[in-house]
Amino acid sequence: MEDVYILAFESSCDETSVSIIKNGHEEIATVVLSQMDIHALYGGVVPEIASRYHVESITLVIEECLKKANMTMDDITAIAVTYGPGLIGSLLVGMQAAKTLSYLYNKPLVPVHHIAGHIYANNLVEPMKFPLMALVVSGGHTEIVLMKDDYEFKKIGGTLDDAVGEAYDKVARVLNLPYPGGPLIDKLSFEGEDTYSLPTPLDDDSYNFSFSGLKSAVINMSHNEIQRGNPIRKADLACSFQNRVVDILVKKTIKAMKEYNVYNLIVAGGVAANKGLRNKLTEECAKEGYHLVFPVMKYCTDNAAMIGAAGYYAYKLGRVSDLTLNSKANDELK
């Protein structure tokens, strides 16, 4: 069969990224331009600034990616693009670039859901084996998704309020850590001990999550300590918070694996980089005999390589679109 080269675009938040992926698993070239340092000045992503930087850098990122791959547009089979969810102004920049190239070079246009991208980042590690359970943990999503085949997504549970990455970032702000705080809390947690008494988030029989109560407990606790003039032991608080989060994520995921009789587990999204989560899942999966895959660290957070991997399977399934395709700030995983 002829090789398929997907040129992929990701611009849903504050990374401008373009990648070329061969046959859904082989990375030819990827360029990720992060705006993190700029947004860190404001303590979070500023949408208007993000879209402006995407506009400034997108053509350079495309050129650099093709150059790195030593390829031209003639070598490309199809163009995949994150259509949503995400920041609408940011999404539109990648979308416009993808549509323009699709029109100019007469290449099929393949829309990809951002979370499908995070899930298929695992396919860059090894071929995904079905049925599988996907634990999706990012700045905008926290879901347990059952997949019986490519693009068959069945959500069996999700967060009722904050996404897990969002909770990390909000707690980090209270601890005066710069944006994005997730990786810093993760690092700090290994320097501290689980000494703070924090509530366990939504420990019920469902596969849903709730992190806002835990987040508020951390915020209230630190405010109270400050008012009493007591120093906050940041590393201990980070450790206590991370343990509550990781414990419930792992507990509900393993329970879902058992109930649905699934032996393959993949983790997806920015929080898949979390070392506490990686350690605990690795331990529990070894105990249960489950096959566990994580994306490589650099492809846990937003990148176009994952969109290229997801785009290949979408293309194979005929999920192509005409040029009326538009970006969507919100959309169900499909």
Task: Rule CB under 6 A: choose which of 97, 186, 249, 294 binds ligand KG4.
Answer: 186
Task: Rule CB under 5 A: choose which of 168, 302, 304, 305 binds Zn ion.
Answer: 302
Report d(CA 106, CA 215) in Å as an integer: 49
Q: Is 169 in the site for ligand KG4 (CB under 6 A)?
A: yes
Interaction pattern, residues 286-305, with ligand KG4; x per rule: CB under 6 A: ---------------xx---
Q: Which stretch binds Zn ion (CB under 5 A): 134-142, 159-167, 219-227, 313-321?
A: 134-142
Residue placing its CB nearer to ligand KG4 in the complex, 45 or 98:
45
Choose the contact partner of 150 out of ligand KG4, Zn ion, none; CB within 5 to 8 A by kind. Answer: none
Query: Are the beta carbons of 285 and 265 closer than 8 angstroms?
Result: yes
Query: Phi, psi (5° rounding) for residue 157?
Result: -175, 160
Q: Is 182 in the site for ligand KG4 (CB under 6 A)?
A: yes
Judge residue 283's burial from the number of C-beta atoms within 10 Å of its C-beta, 0-12 exposed, 13-18 middle, 19 or more buried: exposed
- Which H/E stretch holds residue 285? helix 275-288
Q: H helices of 70-194, where?
A: 88-105, 114-120, 164-174, 182-189
Angle at 310 between CA 308 and CA 312, to 5 degrees: 70
Task: Rule CB under 6 A: choose which of 140, 192, 295, 311 binds ligand KG4.
Answer: 140
Choose the contact partner of 58 out of Zn ion, ligand KG4, none; CB within 5 to 8 A by kind. Answer: none
Write the DSSP symbol of residue 18: E
Task: Rule CB under 6 A: choose which of 69, 221, 249, 273 binds ligand KG4.
Answer: 273
Task: Rule CB under 6 A: choose which of 84, 108, 111, 165 binds ligand KG4.
Answer: 165
Query: Are the beta carbons of 266 and 119 closer than 8 angstroms?
Result: yes
Taking the CA atoms of 59, 65, 67 and 73 in sequence, report the sign of the dihedral they define: negative
In whole angstroms, how close is the CB of 108 to ligand KG4 at the nearest point?
25
Q: Which stretch binds ligand KG4 (CB under 6 A): 63-71, 182-190, 213-221, 321-329?
A: 182-190
Report d(CA 134, CA 117) in Å as an integer: 12
Radius of gyration for the alpha carbons in the chain, expressed in angstroms and rounded = 20
Report d(CA 192, CA 106) in Å as an integer: 56
Choose the contact partner of 14 out of ligand KG4, Zn ion, none; CB within 5 to 8 A by kind. Answer: none
Residue placing its CB nearer to ligand KG4 in the complex, 27 or 75:
27
Q: Which stretch binds ligand KG4 (CB under 6 A): 30-38, 137-145, 212-220, 252-260?
A: 137-145
Q: Which residues bind ligand KG4 (CB under 6 A)?
A: 13, 118, 138-140, 165, 168-169, 180-183, 186, 269-271, 273-274, 301-302
Q: Which residues bind Zn ion (CB under 5 A)?
A: 138, 302
